[in-house]
Amino acid sequence: MLFNKNLKILFCILFFYSSPAFSFNTDSEYALLVDYKTNQILFEKNSTKRIFPASMSKLMTLYVLFDYLDKGAINMADEFVISENAWRKGGAMSDSSTMFAEVSSYISIENLIKGIVIQSGNDACIAVAEGISGSEDLFAIEMNFFSQELGMKDTNFKNSTGLHHKDHFTTATDLVILTKALIKNFPQYYHFFSQESFTWNGIFQPNRNNLLRDNIGVDGLKTGKTEQSGFSMIVSSFANEIRLISILGGLPSKEKRTSEMRKLINYGQKAFKRSLVFKSNEVIDNVDVWGGKASSVDLVASEDIYLLLDIRGRRFLNVSYLYNSPITAPVKKGDIIGKITILNDDKIIIESNLISNKDIDSNNFIGKAIDTMGYLFN
């Protein structure tokens, strides 16, 4: 029989310290604020709306490049050539973002990464695309392969730069998935995102992520801007042992983009406190066992479950847990025998497994027969 039970949790202890009330809104066309550790959504606005990602697309260009580096197919000292196509389309002959690479010059992958991250160089992106895949079109196929592999469900890349194309799109949700994967899968390269400036070909350029210099915990990632996308930005911030991923866009100016992102980060850092909701191995319920040497087993949390909670969230949480009863022996300690879902009102915050807390061996034939008769009569 399937059981679905509900309970409410009251965090009385959390009211012993004072915490100001926060509310948040933004002028951005879209926004998303996510806890990196749990993927808990702290704020969202139009997060699944299709957008033109502009230079935030370069995060996928870097993801593909980092994967090649990680697998040893290339190394930091390898050099890619700046083709005439890269020079004209994304370099000094355009009015777009550039690292001012000279045509026919050879540049190390390490410096191309800096040119992409810090200077948002379209010329550097095209050089990487051509160096890895032979052309931007073929490289876009690789970008889309990785986007599907990462679970980016509403994304399509047509180029390595983010220069406008009507069929080049994504969502705030998908870009957060990509950003989390960059940080998790390639921590050895993440330091590039916090470098504040880079000089190439005698030309000094500061990192376009101006929040790196604001002392609010921002340590990456990328800005974007085209006429069609407006001003956009996705950043990671780390403060008070909490890493947040924040994205917003569709704004009219760089100044507005900066101020709205500061507000969003401040909201995440000030309004929420990390709280332990369930401890690993905490007993949630007791489940009947059929055919075992014990008649029941405790249903326990499989992990410590922490949440970032604001005042309203700390007041009450709704918890739903689902399991079948009876379960059939043998049962091994750690077997998944249920699922727990934590909600704020009707909105799912997090889901986790419920497991058995001990081994239960199968009973002998007589014991199983007695169990069967008992269930028949009941």
Contact 300, 282 (CB under 8 A): yes
Q: State yes or no: is 58 an active-site residue.
A: yes
Q: Fill in the amino acid letter for 277.
A: V
One of 47, 58, 158, 352 is an active-site residue; which one?
A: 58
The residues pairing with 64 across neighbouring beta strands, listed in sequence order, are none
Give the 3-state secondary structure of the chain.
CEEEEEEEECCHHHHHCCCCCCCCCCCCCEEEEEECCCCCEEEEECCCCCECCHHHHHHHHHHHHHHHHHCCCCCCCCEEECCHHHHHHHCCCCCCCCCCCCCCCEEEHHHHHHHHHCCCCHHHHHHHHHHHHCCHHHHHHHHHHHHHHCCCCCCECCCCCCCCCCCCEECHHHHHHHHHHHHHHCHHHHHHHHCCEEEECCEEEECCCHHHHCCCCEEEEEEEEECCCEEEEEEEEEECCEEEEEEEEEECCHHHHHHHHHHHHHHHHHHCEEEEEECCCCEEEEEEEECECCCEEEEEECCCEEEEECHHHHHCEEEEEEEECCEECCECCCCEEEEEEEEECCEEEEEEEEEECCCECECCHHHHHHHHHHHHHC
Q: State yes or no: is 55 an active-site residue.
A: yes
300/189 Cα distance (integer angstroms): 38
One of 57, 96, 120, 160 is an active-site residue; which one?
A: 120
| Chain position carrying tokens 């040497």 | 293
The dihedrals phi and psi of 90, each to the nearest 5 degrees, come to -125, 10
Cα dist. 1→216, 289, 296 in Å? 52, 12, 15
One of 28, 55, 97, 237 is an active-site residue; which one?
A: 55
- The catalytic residues are 55, 58, 120
